[in-house]
Structures are given as C-alpha cells and as structure tokens.
Amino acid sequence: MKRLLFFALFTVFFADTLSAQIVPGLQYSDLKNIYYAREYKHMPGDPYSPVLSAVGSFFIPGLGQFCCGERGRGLGMFAAGAAIDAAMIFSLNQFVYYLDVNGALFTDVDEAAKWAGASIGFTVGAVVYGIISSIDAVNVAKVRNMYYRDLNKLETMELKLYPSLNFARTQKGATPAAGVTLSLQF
C-alpha cells in the first residue's frame, strides 16, 4: 500500500513538473532548451513546414522564423540580411561607378578593384547569411512543431476516477473487493 501511494504521489508530482514547463506562449529561446531539433520526426498535422521555412528564409532572411511565430527573431534576421544586401548593392554601385565614368573604361583601376573585392565579399556574405538563416528557420519550425504537439497533448489530458469491484484471492477463496480506479489519459 505504501509503495502504491508513493508511486501515485511521484506520478502526480512528475506530471505537474512536466506540465509546468510546457505552457502556451513560450518562445524559441525557451523551447530550444526543452526540445532538440535533431529528434524531430515529421507527423501529419504539423503546422509548420521546415522545408518552406528554409526556402523562404534563404531568399528573405527571417521569413521562415516570422511565419513560425517567432516575430522578433524573424525581424532581427531580416534587418541583418537587409544591412548585408544594402552593403552589397552599395559596393556594386561604387564598382560600376569607377568602372565606367563618362564612357571611359576603368577611370580608376585601383578603386574599381577595391570595390569589386568588396562586392564579391558582400555577395558571398549574403549567400552564407541566407544559408545560416535557412538552417535556423528549419530548427525553429521543428522545435515549434514538437511544442505544438505537446500543447495539444496537454489540452487533451483526461483524468477519470470511478468505482470498481474486483475479486481478491484469499485463503477461503475469492471475496469481492470494492475500490476506486484512477484513469489518466494523455
């Protein structure tokens, strides 16, 4: 009897501790400590697509994060991506300016070479940042999907308590034993 009581209290305490971690409204910064993206398995009904998040974030950094509900994270990545793109466009504009001013080819070869290098560097930086943003968007989508599944499980948890009648084996045979059955579904 003591073991049964201890097990019941332990189960209730553990279930309460687990449900305290999984509450509505958590952000990715909290969720990444609870869920691991590498453990994600696709299931029908997942609200966020890791593939679409990755493609969207490659072309527009932060789009995948924004669509997965991480608005601040998405806007921050978008701002960083926009800054890299602006620097790339500015350096390319400067390269073209020094390449051809008034129809003369290479008015200043040293300046044109400097801005060509900067243009190439910022272009590579933009592509690398797009890849980084895509990887982050995939992780956000996977973690948010696992969180969504757990939220739905917690919302459908059901606790039932109903009377039961069993037969207990004794030295004199079987005697009826009345009791209470606890049913927990999650």
Write the pLDDT tens digit of every residue in 88-108: 999 998 888 777 655 556 667
Residue 163: per-residue pLDDT: 84
Helices 50-59 & 109-155 angle (0-180, nearest 10): 160
DSSP letter string, 108-123: SHHHHHHHHHHHHHHH
Q: Is residue 121 scored above 90 in pLDDT?
A: yes
In angstroms, rounded to a whole number, what is the distance separating the alpha carbons of residues 64 and 51?
9
Write the pLDDT tens digit of every residue in 123-175: 999 999 999 999 999 999 999 999 998 888 755 556 777 788 888 888 888 88
Amino acid at site 109: V
DSSP code of 17? H
Q: Convert 122-158 to b/e letters by CB count within 10 Å (16 or more is b).
A: beeebeebbebbbebbbbbbbbbbbbeebeeeeeeee
Can you read off the two tokens belonging to residue 180? 């209470």
